[in-house]
Amino acid sequence: MEQQLSRLLTQALEQDNNIRSAAERELSMLEQQTGFLSSLLNIVANTEHFPMNLRWLAAVVAKNSLDRIWRVTTQQFISNEEKTAVRQRVLSLLLQQDQLVATQLYLLLGRLARLDYPRDWPTVFENLVSLIESHETSWQLHRLLQALYEVVKAVESKKVDQYRFHQSAVSIIEVAFRLLQRNLGVSGDISIRDFVEKWNQVEFQIVELCLKMLRRVVHHDSLIMDLEKPFKEFIEWSLQLRCLFFYNGQEFERAQRLSYLLCKLVLETQKTHPFLLAGVLWRILSEYEHQWRNSLDMDWEQKSLLQWSLDAKALDLFHHVMECNVIFTKQPFVYKEDSRIPCDLHGMHCIITDWSTEELEGARQQILQSFTESLVSNIFQLAITRFLPCSKERLVKLLEEPTDFEMEAAAAEFDVDDPQTVAQAVCVSLLSHFMEPCFSILMKLANDSNEREVVLLDVIYRILGASVFDLADRIDYGQWLALLSKIFSQAALQDILLRRRACLFSAQVASFLHSEQQVSLFEQLLQIYLKESNVAVSWPALQAIEILLTSQEENSDLCLNEQTALVFMQKSFQVLQQATHLSLKCDVLDAVTRIVENLTPSLGENLYQPLSNSIIELWNQSSLLSEKEEAFSIQARVVDMIQSFVTSFYSFQDSKQLPSNFEVFLKQLIVWCIQLEWQGNGEQHDELVEQGLQLWNCLLESQTQYTQMMEELIPLLIALTQRTTEYVSHYVVLIRNYIHLGGRHFVVTYGNWLCSFLYSLLGLMRDRVVIQVAGIVDCVILFHSEDWSLWIPLLRAMISTIFHQTENRAVEAAFLSVISRAIWMDISRFEREVLEQDTQRLYSLVYYMVERIENVYLPQHKKQIALCLCQLAIQRSIFLHVSVDAVVDVWLQSLSSETKGILDDDFQRLQDPISQQDLVLEIRKTVQQLEEIFTDRYPSMPSFWNALDRNVAQTFRSALS
């Protein structure tokens, strides 16, 4: 097979596409033959007869075919004996002289480990560690370490037994520490930096691989807390020799690279095992602080990317220590199963350790004692003076790219490669845990700085704004006012960068101010907003104004007069046109929508005519956008804003109809949203239909009379209901609104469709929807009282549901009230056409009405059932099936609810005959007739009043008097 494979591999390297494709097909067919992998590895090993490029391709083919043939469930292409031979063969080939071939073998070994560890190859780590320990030359160690690193990477994503992996991890860590100490161990009179820079590439890569491998093992080994001592000794050794820690100066690039890798190792250790470095953490933190203090002359913007990243990782270490809830807390340690301690730190939910609670508490105290007042103050000042400031030129760029000024929002994503972002997070954490010294530093810097120190003031207010939620209740209110006064001073506002920062800071603190200060701040922001021409300032000003308007109290003096409101909205549309990025356009629209919701209706209707014209113009402009995604995002938000506009307009008590041109526009907008033949993105269509239905309902709810425009939309509703039931809750609300506005005209005109559609909805059994459907059926019966054939199927469906004992009592109560209306209208016809002369089912319904009255909550429904029982008590012998006390109890509950509650205004408006009935008078008439007929109809029973319980009779007489 080797000869055949060598021929095919040679052809696969040909430039002719036809030859190469044919060879690849034949290679694919040979994969399933026994000895395929062994033959490829023999080619890799044969350096005498095969050139390097052929051996490289053989290794690539072996690696790529592994996933297809190594573990196949339907057919085994490779025997267990051949698998064992392949593993050993790969191990023996790792010390290849050709780097390209060796790299493919490392990747092949990693795939083998991912497939076979730990079940079929539990000793893979031990095999590699043994090979490393048996070789001394640098190039051999480098090759074997590369192989071990690939294996560690390959298995770290697997869920393996933690104890088995820990045993392997111990040996890997010991080997890595030994190699690091051997390579970095120099005499005291030689500078470690000079020593590292003089290494050859292989020696440097050995140390680099050891550090990278340690970080991955630490992350994957949950039991590594057992190795506290060797880790502590290694860190102390590194600090003592001053190697692997933070070097400044671009001439020491290798030393900086190793410092960066060590910092990543320490950071990963702290993230996954917060107490492992407790004994040396104070020395690590102090070392970084010392290095920073000795290099203040270097501007971080002028640093190399490596130096930049090193600063970010070191700062990130401070941040992770302070944000770990098991460190900065006084809560006792609580063990769960498997020696787990809950820990909510950046996705890590527990620490696994067999340390005692006394040992854990001691480690926590060691870490807390690391944060001395001196260290805290120094780090805080260093972050402010070294990392957070940037040149004024860089700040000015923020004004050129409107999306970039959202630095505070971007900081939430925590980009650890940016020292500015991490430094801000560190400052916020320091302020949270050590408020007094840190806040004193900020206040001193703020008081000592003047308006010309733009960069420093920008930093101070950025930190304060990011920390406002933690500090709002812990800092004297007067200090907040002093800070606001300084940033809003006339001199400060002359600088565009400070105007921008003032607006951003206002948005962050606005909701924490008292109402008087909010009014003052609102007026200042409004002036800035209306005058500002740069969107990088006007947008944060709009944000702050929106927060002030939406967070104001009911009796607040915050308001816009009619003229200012119109100018404000026109300015907002100008800002929207200035915005060049889609995300900014959407944010501006969202803010304007929320402001429209909070515009007080007392502004008067004169505002809405020009405002509606501006909204129509905005929509027309968005329709002209060539980019479909951008147009959709803008238009969807315009629909939201229009809905808020309509709601706000009709919250004004004396408002008249909307301007006619705007009504026509609304109709066009609803039709546009509910496009039945949609050609674009399906999810976008669903979102638009939802918005269109919400706008439609909003429009109907705000109207006081039925218009031609509303009726013109009904065919669209009918078509949509025939197409999908996905929006059934919206349909039901729409129909109810149409009934309330159109009354008899709507029900009579669309009765056939209504009944067939409602009948289909009863089968959905979504409780809330079905209850609403019952209300609509009640209206249909009211207005279609003569045409029983329309709604008899609906009643039968409801009766069937009741008899099958639906679990939802609210649904049952709604159905009983609807059935009660039909019975009340004509008992004989109901019995004949609905029940088909089944008198027993009628008495069963009476029984349910009496027994389920406790589940009926609406006064209107109780009244319908009570009046129905009045008719039945006179015309049918119901007291042979239910007790007199039970029926009287229904009447008493109905009388009580009618006295205490208010009947549904919608039914009053619809001129419902039931709602117009005097319940007390009807029950009195019923009782009088019962007194006369009781003896004749129920000869075996006492008289009506004597049939009642004495207490019930007394209560009933009192209610009727």
pLDDT in the model for residue 904? 47
In terms of pLDDT, which residue wins out, 808 or 398? 808
Q: At a CB cut-off of 8 Å and minimum separation 6, what does 456 contact?
A: 384, 389, 445, 449
* pLDDT at position 435 over 70: yes
pLDDT digits (tens, 9 = 90+) for 783-824: 777 778 878 888 888 888 888 766 677 788 888 888 998 899
Q: Which helix (H) or strand (E) holds 811?
A: helix 809-825
C-alpha separations of 450 from 387, 481, 829 in Å: 20, 17, 90
CA-angle at 590, arms to 584 and 592, nearest 5°: 105
What is the rounded distance in angstroms from the CA atom of residue 860 to the CA atom of residue 914? 9
Residue 861 pLDDT class (50, 70, 90 cuts): confident
Residue 160 pLDDT class (50, 70, 90 cuts): confident
C-alpha separations of 893 from 87, 772, 960 in Å: 84, 23, 13
**How many other CB atoms sit within 10 Å of the CB of residue 344?**
12
What is the rounded distance in angstroms from the CA atom of residue 773 to the CA atom of residue 757? 10
In terms of pLDDT, which residue wins out, 157 or 134? 134
What is the rounded distance in angstroms from the CA atom of residue 931 to the CA atom of residue 670? 60
What is the rounded distance in angstroms from the CA atom of residue 872 to the CA atom of residue 273? 77
Q: What is the overall mean pLDDT for the chain?
A: 81
pLDDT in the model for residue 33? 85
* pLDDT at position 765 over 60: no
Amino acid at 285: L
The 3-state DSSP class for residue 352 equals strand
Can you read off the two tokens belonging to residue 750? 């669309």
The 3-state DSSP class for residue 558 equals coil
DSSP state of 880: G
* Greatest mean pLDDT among 69-73, 142-146, 720-724: 142-146
Residue 415 pLDDT class (50, 70, 90 cuts): very low
The 3-state DSSP class for residue 351 equals strand
* pLDDT at position 150 over 90: yes
Can you read off the two tokens belonging to residue 16? 């002719």
Q: Which helix (H) or strand (E) holds 197?
A: helix 192-197
pLDDT digits (tens, 9 = 90+) for 301-313: 566 677 777 888 8
Find the length of the chain.
961
Q: Which residue has the tokens 């009580």?
A: 896
Q: At a CB cut-off of 8 Å and minimum separation 6, what does 271 contact?
A: 320, 345, 346, 348
Residue 902 pLDDT class (50, 70, 90 cuts): very low
Residue 898 pLDDT class (50, 70, 90 cuts): low
Half-sphere exposure of 532 (CA within 13 A, CB side): 29
Q: At a CB cut-off of 8 Å and minimum separation 6, what does 388 contact?
A: 420, 423, 424, 427, 459, 462, 463
Stretch 350-367: mean pLDDT, rounded?
82
Q: At a CB cut-off of 8 Å and minimum separation 6, what does 428 contact?
A: 463, 466, 467, 470
In terms of pLDDT, which residue wins out, 341 or 653? 341
pLDDT in the model for residue 338? 59
Residue 197: strand pairing partners: none
Share of the chain above pLDDT 70, in %: 85
Please state which of the ranges 81-90, 179-188, 398-407 shows the lowest mean pLDDT: 398-407
Share of the chain above pLDDT 90, in %: 14
What is the rounded distance in angstroms from the CA atom of residue 334 to the CA atom of residue 941? 72
C-beta of residue 384 within 8 angstroms of C-beta of residue 459 = yes
C-beta of residue 697 within 8 angstroms of C-beta of residue 734 = yes
DSSP state of 657: P
Residue 650 pLDDT class (50, 70, 90 cuts): low
pLDDT in the model for residue 56? 93
Phi–psi pair at 351, nearest 5 degrees? -110, 135
What is the rounded distance in angstroms from the CA atom of residue 932 to the CA atom of residue 948? 16
| 407: nearest Cα among 391, 392, 425, 393 | 425
* pLDDT at position 907 over 80: no
* pLDDT at position 147 over 90: yes
pLDDT in the model for residue 244? 67
Q: Where are the alpha helices (DSSP H) in 515-659?
A: 515-531, 535-551, 562-578, 582-598, 608-623, 628-650
C-beta of residue 544 within 8 angstroms of C-beta of residue 506 = yes
pLDDT in the model for residue 548? 87
Residue 588 pLDDT class (50, 70, 90 cuts): confident
pLDDT in the model for residue 556? 65
pLDDT digits (tens, 9 = 90+) for 841-852: 888 889 888 888
**How many other CB atoms sit within 10 Å of the CB of residue 96?**
21
Burial 112-144 (b: 16+ CB within 10 A, else e): bbbbbbbeebeebbeebbebbeeeeebebbbbb
Please state which of the ranges 87-101, 204-218, 284-298 shows the lowest mean pLDDT: 284-298
C-alpha separations of 804 from 50, 817, 836, 838 in Å: 83, 17, 19, 17
pLDDT in the model for residue 399? 64
* Greatest mean pLDDT among 53-62, 695-704, 752-761, 769-778: 53-62
Instruction: Please enumerate, as own/partner, the contacts of 801-806 that have beta carbons within 8 Å and a separation of 24 or more.
Output: 801/762, 802/845, 802/848, 803/841, 803/844
pLDDT digits (tens, 9 = 90+) for 204-262: 889 899 999 999 998 888 788 888 888 888 888 888 776 667 666 656 777 788 888 88
Phi–psi pair at 799, nearest 5 degrees? -60, -40
**How many other CB atoms sit within 10 Å of the CB of residue 765?**
13
Q: Which residue has the tokens 């000015």?
A: 396
Burial 348-369 (b: 16+ CB within 10 A, else e): eebbbbebeeebbeebbebbee
* pLDDT at position 132 over 90: yes
Q: Which residue has the tokens 């930096």?
A: 193
DSSP state of 385: I
Q: Which residue has the tokens 């009045």?
A: 870
* pLDDT at position 407 over 50: no
Stretch 363-373: mean pLDDT, rounded?
90
* pLDDT at position 899 over 60: no
pLDDT in the model for residue 89? 93
What is the rounded distance in angstroms from the CA atom of residue 771 to the CA atom of residue 158? 51
Amino acid at 346: H
SS3 helix, strand, coil % of the chain, rounded to 5? 75, 0, 25
In terms of pLDDT, which residue wins out, 530 or 585? 530
C-beta of residue 669 within 8 angstroms of C-beta of residue 695 = yes
Can you read off the two tokens belonging to residue 8? 């095919």
pLDDT in the model for residue 109? 94
Amino acid at 837: Q
CA-angle at 383, arms to 379 and 389, nearest 5°: 160
pLDDT digits (tens, 9 = 90+) for 461-484: 889 888 888 888 888 888 888 888
Half-sphere exposure of 288 (CA within 13 A, CB side): 27
pLDDT in the model for residue 854? 83
In terms of pLDDT, which residue wins out, 485 or 901? 485
* pLDDT at position 417 over 70: no
For the CA atoms of 598, 602, 605, 610, the dihedral, rounded to the nearest 10 degrees, stands at -50
* pLDDT at position 505 over 70: yes
Residue 581 pLDDT class (50, 70, 90 cuts): confident
DSSP labels, 138-200:
HHHHHHHHHHHHHHHHHHTTS---HHHHHHHHHHHHHHHHHHHHHHH---TTS-HHHHHHTS-
Can you read off the two tokens belonging to residue 299? 């501007």
| 238: nearest Cα among 196, 298, 293 | 196
Please state which of the ranges 236-240, 504-508, 614-618 shows the lowest mean pLDDT: 614-618
The 3-state DSSP class for residue 350 equals strand
Stretch 170-190: mean pLDDT, rounded?
80
Residue 717 pLDDT class (50, 70, 90 cuts): confident
The 3-state DSSP class for residue 348 equals strand
What is the rounded distance in angstroms from the CA atom of residue 567 to the CA atom of residue 423? 41
